[in-house]
Amino acid sequence: MALVCLGLEGTAHSFGAGIVTSKGKVLANEWDMLKPSQGGIHPREASRHHSDLGPGIICRAMETAGMGYKDINLIAFSRGPGLGPCLRTTATMARTLALKLDIPLIDVNHCVAHIEIGSLESRFEDPVTVYVSGGNTQVIAFAGGRFRTFGETLDIAIGNMLDVLGRYLGMEFPAGPLIEKEARAGRDFHSLPYSVKGMDISYSGMLTAAKKLVSDGVPIPDICYSVQETAFGMLAEIAERALAHTKKDELLLTGGVARNDRLTEILTGVSERHGARFHRVSPSLAGDQGAMIAWNGILQYESGHEIEVESSYVLPKWRTDEQDILWRH
């Protein structure tokens, strides 16, 4: 009999509930993203969003899957990394369900969940993963029992950089897709700070310089085009180095920014040069959602891990490489 896991995601702006079987079948994946009318994401507002809408989203997932609570065998939740108030709200819902239904509770690292749902979809066995989202920008690969961060942003995440620039340009949140659209009409490339430091990258200097182009009167499509080419070029450079160094032959692109076609095109080129296969996670599984949490819950439970409610406190700064990956060898 296949196990069924209900996974709750709530690290930042999105709350999601996903239901996945131990055969890797996604039965439901419902979510909602907080879109502030102005300014960025406030942790308290986001956690209120999760507590207001969470229960309804869980019910919707149960309906979509055509299941009753007695059909659920496991509860998994995003334990970190993320915004404290959001994590605590989500964890409280997960603990309540686990206690009420008297079933195992499993704590999931959000970044690891992104990698594993991508591996499930692509059937990749051991990829180099480029994980790009509103809160994270990392190049990750499995080595010595853990997912190691080969390179990452030293300051702001790529999605955050795009959203902040978009807000400055008067775009609504999330600005990533709007910047992508504008960039297609860009013609003139304007040089921006390209900062790759070893295997790490930095976006804050580039953001400041891009804002300056706005006040210099550079057309918006040219700014968006220049920003994309520079930001994606930096990412491609460290992804390429990770592929060359690890000699792995699969490259996986995941996270909300994976929806970008130009980034996909650039990384496809990187993979081809290294004889690696490439996969971009499909839009419904790319951003923050519960199916990835549920699938990771299954992987962990099947390798013998669960957590007591008493010790299930959240880990806002939980790094990708701090967890022993028991299900991979």
Can you give the binding site for ligand AMP, defined by CB under 6 A?
14, 133-135, 159, 162-163, 174-177, 180, 255-257, 259-260, 287-288
From 6, 122, 102, select the one nearest 54 (Cα to Cα). 6
CB of 326 to ligand AMP, least distance (A): 25
Cβ proximity to ligand AMP, 14 vs 90, nearer residue:
14
Report the residue number whose CB is nearest to Mg ion: 133
Decide which of Mg ion, ligand AMP, none touches 186; Cβ closer than 5 to 8 Å per partner kind: none
Q: Where are the alpha helices (DSSP H) in 274-318?
A: 283-286, 290-302
Count of chain residues binding Mg ion (CB under 5 A): 2
For residue 328, the 8-state DSSP code is -
Cβ proximity to ligand AMP, 104 vs 135, nearer residue:
135
In angstroms, rounded to a whole number, what is the distance separating the alpha carbons of residues 247 and 42?
41
Cβ proximity to ligand AMP, 10 vs 255, nearer residue:
255
In angstroms, rounded to a whole number, what is the distance separating the alpha carbons of residues 139 and 208?
24
Q: 231 vs 134, 262, 319, CA distance in Å?
A: 14, 11, 23
Report the residue number whose CB is nearest to ligand AMP: 256
Decide which of Mg ion, ligand AMP, none touches 16; Cβ closer than 5 to 8 Å per partner kind: none
Cβ proximity to ligand AMP, 18 vs 104, nearer residue:
18
CB of 239 to ligand AMP, least distance (A): 16
CB of 42 to ligand AMP, least distance (A): 16
Binding string to Mg ion for residues 274 to 293, with x set by CB under 5 A, is what?
A: --------------x-----
Given the rule CB under 5 A, which of 35-43, 130-138, 172-180, 319-327 is the region that contacts Mg ion? 130-138
Cβ proximity to Mg ion, 133 vs 226, nearer residue:
133
CB of 7 to ligand AMP, least distance (A): 15
CB of 219 to ligand AMP, least distance (A): 19
CB of 101 to ligand AMP, least distance (A): 28
CB of 289 to Mg ion, least distance (A): 9
For 232, the 3-state DSSP assignment is helix
152 binds Mg ion per the rule CB under 5 A: no
CB of 221 to ligand AMP, least distance (A): 15
Kind plus residue range of the DSSP H or E element containing 119:
helix 110-122
133 binds Mg ion per the rule CB under 5 A: yes
Decide which of ligand AMP, Mg ion, none touches 18; Cβ closer than 5 to 8 Å per partner kind: none
From 186, 167, 185, 187, select the one nearest 176 (Cα to Cα). 167
Q: Which residues contact 149 (CB under 8 A, 6 or more apart)?
A: 138, 139, 140, 319, 320, 321
Residue whose structure tokens are 């051991």 = 126
Q: Residue 152 pairs with which residues in a beta bridge?
A: 138
Instruction: Annotate 2-65 with DSSP letters as a single string.
Output: --EEEEEE-SSSEEEEEEEETT--EEEEEEEE---SSSS--HHHHHHHHHHHHHHHHHHHHHHH
From 289, 288, 287, 293, select the one nearest 6 (Cα to Cα). 293
Cβ proximity to Mg ion, 86 vs 98, nearer residue:
86
Point out which residues bind Mg ion (CB under 5 A): 133, 288
